[in-house]
Amino acid sequence: MSSSILQYYRVRLDDTITLKITIGHGQSGDTIVHLGANRIVDGQQGSFELVLLGVGEELNYKKLHCFTAVTDIQTETNETSVRYELIGGVEPYQHTLQETVNAHGDVEFYLATFVFYI
């Protein structure tokens, strides 16, 4: 398993893209999202869904960086995970990153980069 991913995501000129981030294993997560040079999400707690500003044409060659710090707060498991979903482009995309922390209370950092292109 890995804590980082980079993915090219194909969009059409007038597509509206939705990003969905799910913090799994009942854990606590804090997410920051950058689209190009702009911070569009600053410290979102838990799972969330977001419609990106701008259509496919404006997103072309832009990078979407999603940074999530997941803290293992659950006694049930030492697993942490983040599921990323992109909807609205040529094809829907879904991927889950998962890591096991060494000890209860550890923090795991996740990074997902999506590069939009037409």
Partner 1 sequence: MKKYGFPNRWFRRTLRVIIITLLVMVSIVSASEEQSQSYHLTIPTTAPGFVLLGSEPATVERPGSVTDFILSIQNQTEDFSVLPKNYALELAPYWLLLGSHITYEQYVNGRNLMANMLQTLSLSVATVSSTFEDSLGVSHDMTSLGFGFRFSLLRGKVEPSFQNYANRLDSIYSISHTLSDRVTEEIEKRLKNDTVLCRLDSVFQNAPDNARQLLIPIITVLQSQRQQEIKNEVEKEIREEYTSEFARISGLVSRLQMRRVGWKLELAGGAAMDFPERTFDNSNWSKLGIWTTFGYEQTHWGMLGLVRILGDQRNDDFSSIDIGSRFIIDNIRLMSISVESVYRTFYASDKMDDTWRLAFMLDYPLGKNKSLSLVFGRDFEGSRSGNLISLINVVISLGSDRPI
Residues that bind partner 1 (CB under 8 A): 2-8, 22-32, 34, 43, 45-47, 61, 65, 67-69, 71-79, 81, 83, 96, 98, 103-107, 109, 111, 113, 115, 117
Work out how close the CB of 40 gets to partner 1 at its nearest, in angstroms, rounded to a whole number. Answer: 12
- Nearer to partner 1 among residue 52 and residue 66 (C-beta): 66
In the chain, the N- to C-terminal Cα span, in Å, equals 30
Work out how close the CB of 102 gets to partner 1 at its nearest, in angstroms, rounded to a whole number. Answer: 9
- Nearer to partner 1 among residue 51 and residue 90 (C-beta): 90
Q: What is the DSSP letter of 54?
A: E
Q: Which two tokens stand for residue 11?
A: 């969009």
- Nearer to partner 1 among residue 14 and residue 75 (C-beta): 75
Q: What is the DSSP string of 50-84?
A: EEEEEEHHHHTT-EEEEEEEEE---SS-SEEEEEE
C-alpha span between 17 and 47 (Å, rounded):
17
- Nearer to partner 1 among residue 30 and residue 88 (C-beta): 30
